[in-house]
Amino acid sequence: MEKVNIAVLVSGGGTNLQAIIDAEKSGIIKSGSVKLVISNNSKAYALERAKQNDIESKVVLRREYGSDAEFENAILQALEAAGIDLIVLAGFMSILSPDFIGRYRDRIINVHPSLIPSFCGKGFYGLKVHEAALHYGVKVTGATVHFVNEVPDGGRIILQKAVEVEEGDTPEILQKRVMAQAEHIILPQATEMIARNILFSGR
Ligand code: GAR
């Protein structure tokens, strides 16, 4: 059966990439296959995960290019060379330009570690999101998978899952719980949903 070619863009540890790889192995993701991992950080442990699973990877460093546009062009070239249909941002810590997003309209999804519209947008990434949630004192947080449009964290929501905040939580403890109880579950589910839609709607 034909499958959608998936690229996962990463910057760090890659636990969400791992969740996608595991979901493909277990059959939760069956309409697509991860063909390429792109990292904007050469030290990202996500690269090791790609290697361990025989997935092609590419490091694209912003500092090696003269402009944001050239940096994005290098990413676009790698995506095109691999025939990518669906891009999953899994802890990718760089905001993509409207031009880039326009080329993959409704074909880019992102996981964010809060219940959007809380604690999202420019400046809210990684641990900062959980620090803000604890500072505000919310009792429930969670994760969201959404389409990427020109507004940071502003695209149509695909899936959300709530997670309880517990007494004594630190940002690190809360981050781990949100990953385990929400992100690592809904990101593979949303990836399958969108890959399946692409298969049925044609490329
Ligand atoms: C995840 O919690 C992801 O939701 C978050 O970064 C972490 C990456 O972890 N992304 C954002 O904050 C994007 N705004 P991982 O590398 O282990 O998947």
Q: Where are the domains of the chain?
A: 4-200
Which of 41, 40, 37, 39 is CA-nearest to residue 53? 37
Contact assessment for residue 39 and residue 202, using Cβ atoms and an 8 Å cutoff: no
Contact assessment for residue 190 and residue 145, using Cβ atoms and an 8 Å cutoff: yes
Alpha-carbon distance of 4 to 41, in angstroms, equals 26
Question: Per-residue pLDDT tens for 142-162?
Answer: 999 999 999 999 999 999 999
Contact assessment for residue 96 and residue 9, using Cβ atoms and an 8 Å cutoff: no
Rounded to the nearest whole angstrom, what is the distance from the C-alpha of residue 90 to the centroid of ligand 1? Answer: 6
All residue ranges of the chain with pLDDT < 70 are: 1, 202-203
Closest ligand 1 atom to Cα of 11? 16
184 is catalytic: no
Q: Name the residue at shortest CA distance from atom 12 of ligand 1.
A: 125
pTM for this model (two decimals): 0.98
Question: Per-residue pLDDT tens for 56-68?
Answer: 999 999 999 999 9
Q: Name the residue at shortest CA distance from atom 1 of ligand 1.
A: 91
Alpha-carbon distance of 134 to 165, in angstroms, equals 8
Rounded to the nearest whole angstrom, what is the distance from the C-alpha of residue 151 to the centroid of ligand 1? Answer: 18
Query: So what CATH class is 4-200?
Result: alpha beta
pLDDT confidence of residue 203: 57
Closest ligand 1 atom to Cα of 10? 16
pLDDT confidence of residue 101: 98
Contact assessment for residue 113 and residue 161, using Cβ atoms and an 8 Å cutoff: no
Q: Which residues line ligand 1 (CB under 6 A)?
A: 10, 12-16, 46, 90-91, 111-113, 125-126, 129, 179, 183
Closest ligand 1 atom to Cα of 14? 16
pLDDT confidence of residue 197: 97
Contact assessment for residue 124 and residue 132, using Cβ atoms and an 8 Å cutoff: yes
Q: CA 149, 153, 155: angle at the middle one, nearest 5?
A: 40
pLDDT confidence of residue 4: 98
